[in-house]
Amino acid sequence: MDSVEWLSVAGGLTNTCAVDTITGVYCVGQASTGANGNGDLTNNVYGMNFMALALVSPYLIKSRGNTMYISSMNGTAFVWGDNSSGQTGLLVEETVVPRATLLEITGIVAITPGVNFACALQTNFNVMCWGDGSMGQLGLGKPVAMAAPTQVPAGDGVSWYSIGAGYSAMYGNQVVPPEATMP
């Protein structure tokens, strides 16, 4: 591991995962919530697990709690770990997703997780959010949980430009697109 160059590192509640420059993903730590992403729920504290994600170039990994999200160069994303609040966005009933699984949305340029929810910014300037929305953190105008990625309204005449998330809040910046005219 001495010669590995790291692109991105994310620390979860009880584990850490990293992406290297040759598109490998490595995880170490507690695995009971599936947060190591390799399908094995045995804790791994002495060496890092390696995962190869087929046909993608992972480059950015994010985590909050025990759920990991990884963005790839082709606009796709993978997710694994805790799904107790639907925060994987995979529409599965299991509370643990032990293997890295492809999200069903594309064109992702940024993904940002909160504790039990996540949001993604797409190349078309849409924001999609999913998971626990009990405090309105999904941006849908009401406290509601969404198991599937759901588009967040941008408002009249503006587009989403960037996103971020805190523990239980999603933040976004909006811009007036260049082709729009001001009233």
Taking the domains of the chain in order of start, what are their residue ranges? 6-175
Whether this prediction's pTM lies above 0.85 is answered by yes
Q: What is the mean pLDDT of the chain?
A: 87
Name the residue with higher pLDDT: 44 or 166: 166
Contact predicate 16/52, CB 8 Å: no
Assign domain 6-175 to a CATH class.
mainly beta
- pLDDT of 183 > 60? The answer is no
Average of per-residue pLDDT across 74-93: 93
